[in-house]
Structure 1
Amino acid sequence: MVNLNHAELKNIWVAASDGDLERVKELVESGISPNTPDENTYTPLHAAASWSHHHILRYLHSKGGDLNITDEDGDTPLFSVEDLETAKLVIELGGEASHQNAIGHTAADHLNEEYPDIASYLRTLTGQPAPSAPDPTNAMTSNLLDRVREIMDDAEARGVAAEDDAEVDERLRRVVTETVEESVGIGRLIGSGELQPPPQASTELPTVVEDEEMEEDPSSKRQRL
């Protein structure tokens, strides 16, 4: 029975992920390109960047590795990094911070939620503005309207006129009071500097509309993370 060393069975993507420079060199010198994608269009460069193997990245680059090569989603190795030093190395080796993937996101957009320090660094290179903070009053307004609509729908289902029903009136007063209290809390946070208002944000509460006007859905803006 032939006993093969495990390292000898590694393909270039596994070797790059493991940081196994000896095996990577062996495979590249046998004729495998540093830019070769696997069945998922993942390259050794993506693997090395993801696992922060700087020595592998430098070697692959020295053998013709393209730091702007993309996978099927249009992501370059820069989209795979998980620490700031690796991001800086990818840039040093020619990675483009301004590259946009298939859905128009840059690496800064892609990494912003999990790795904000990397995203911030990349934005200093591209001049890309930081994403705006979500407007807390938008969510609060939407929630208020949803709760009012729910109360009105419940009254209609019970066959009662909302304006003549004491229970409906009390429920409406309660949700409006809760929303006002929430708004005051947000205002205090903004005033203390603990919460930054988004650009052109408004802290005004909407006027609760009459029952016949509740049929029309309010327009709202949704922001991506």
Structure 2
Amino acid sequence: MPNFQPNHFLLAADNSPELLPLLRLNPTLASSQDDHGYSLLHAAASYDHLDLLRALVNELHVDVDLKDEDGETALFVAETVECAKTLVEELHANIAIRGDEGKTPREKIAEEDAFPPVAVYLRVKELETGTLEVNGVKEDSTTNGTQPPPPVPEGLQVDVGTMATEEAGEVVDPEFRRRIEELAAREDFQGEDGQRQLRELVTEAIMGDIGQERGVRRRTS
């Protein structure tokens, strides 16, 4: 009977307990990629398997910025803020990498509009590090975009549905923080109008309107 080896990409998607023992026996599998450049890192990030991400990078020494055929890293497929934070803050994924389409992870996620909290989190990291211009390609002049970003401010959580004042943290841009606090303090914050304005604030953060120098004063309502 032939010796059958399970598909390690499927094991990663299922977060199977069989995967890590298999990788420890065959370490080269840890950084392997399929015909499209899809890797175990991409699978772990996409399915939000954070312990697997940590093991791949810290134990099995897989490059956290391993790219697929589109030039995109695991950060491009993160679907939760927790996953993005693990990649950026623990594993030092580069937020400034641009895929073949010329977009950073934040720009790609914002364009697809599927996971706004992840896009906002990455936008905050851009504001903290001064890494990028939102609509340009300027990278930090001293690090060329490769310096690992500093830890996110204590208590910062980005949740489109339940963001509260104390969760805003010490965001670098005071205007961003002020508007979050002002909105969260409203009695109708959880109502339709409050949530609509929160979505608008999220959109502004994603598009880079907050935290940039402007020549005209923002209209206030």
Bin for the TM-score computed over the shorter chain: 0.5 to 0.7
Identical-residue share of aligned pairs (%)? 28
> Residue 44 of structure 2 contacts residue 53 of structure 2 at CA under 8 Å; is this kept in 1?
yes
Q: Distance in 2 between matches of 1:14 and 1:24?
A: 13
Give the 5 Å matches for 1:89-104.
89-91=86-88, 92-104=90-102
Report whether the alignment pairs 1:56 with 2:64: no
Q: C-alpha offsets along residues 105-148 of structure 1, whole Å, 9 cap, x if unaligned?
A: 011011111111111111111235667xxxxxxxxxxxxxxxxx
**How far did residue 30 of structure 1 move?**
2.1
Q: Distance in 2 between matches of 1:83 and 1:53?
A: 11
- Picking from 72, 94, 101, the partner of 1:75 is 72
2:63 — aligned with what? 66
Q: C-alpha offsets along residues 32-66 of structure 1, whole Å, 9 cap, x if unaligned?
A: 34221011210000000000011111111121111
- The amino acid across from 2:126 in the alignment is T
- The amino acid across from 1:74 in the alignment is G
**How far did residue 31 of structure 1 move?**
3.5
**How far did residue 25 of structure 1 move?**
2.7
* Number of residues of Structure 1 aligned to a counterpart in Structure 2: 136
Question: The residue matched to 2:94 in structure 1 has which SS?
Answer: coil
1:17 — aligned with what? 13
Question: The residue matched to 1:34 in structure 2 has which SS?
Answer: helix
1:126 — aligned with what? 126
Q: Distance in 2 between matches of 1:114 and 1:195?
A: 15
**How far did residue 21 of structure 1 move?**
3.6
Give the 5 Å matches for 1:153-172.
none
* Change in 2 beyond 3 A, CA 1:27/1:11: farther
Q: TM-score, normalised by structure 2?
A: 0.54
Structure 1, unmatched stretches of 5+, are: 132-192, 201-225
> Residue 120 of structure 1 contacts residue 130 of structure 1 at CA under 8 Å; is this kept in 2?
no
- The amino acid across from 1:116 in the alignment is P
Once superposed, what is the RMSD of the aligned Cα atoms?
Answer: 3.1
> Residue 16 of structure 1 contacts residue 24 of structure 1 at CA under 8 Å; is this kept in 2?
no
Report whether the alignment pairs 1:117 with 2:109: no
- Picking from 10, 34, 40, the partner of 2:36 is 40
Q: Distance in 2 between matches of 1:47 and 1:22?
A: 15
> Residue 21 of structure 1 contacts residue 55 of structure 1 at CA under 8 Å; is this kept in 2?
no
Q: C-alpha offsets along residues 1-47 of structure 1, whole Å, 9 cap, x if unaligned?
A: x699xxx6422211111111432331342243422101121000000
Q: C-alpha offsets along residues 82-117 of structure 1, whole Å, 9 cap, x if unaligned?
A: 111011111121211111111110110111111111
Q: Distance in 1 between matches of 2:63 and 2:94?
A: 11
Q: Distance in 1 between matches of 2:74 and 2:200?
A: 34
2:106 — aligned with what? 108
Q: Distance in 1 between matches of 2:91 and 2:17?
A: 18
> Residue 45 of structure 2 contacts residue 74 of structure 2 at CA under 8 Å; is this kept in 1?
yes
Q: Which has the higher helix share?
A: 1
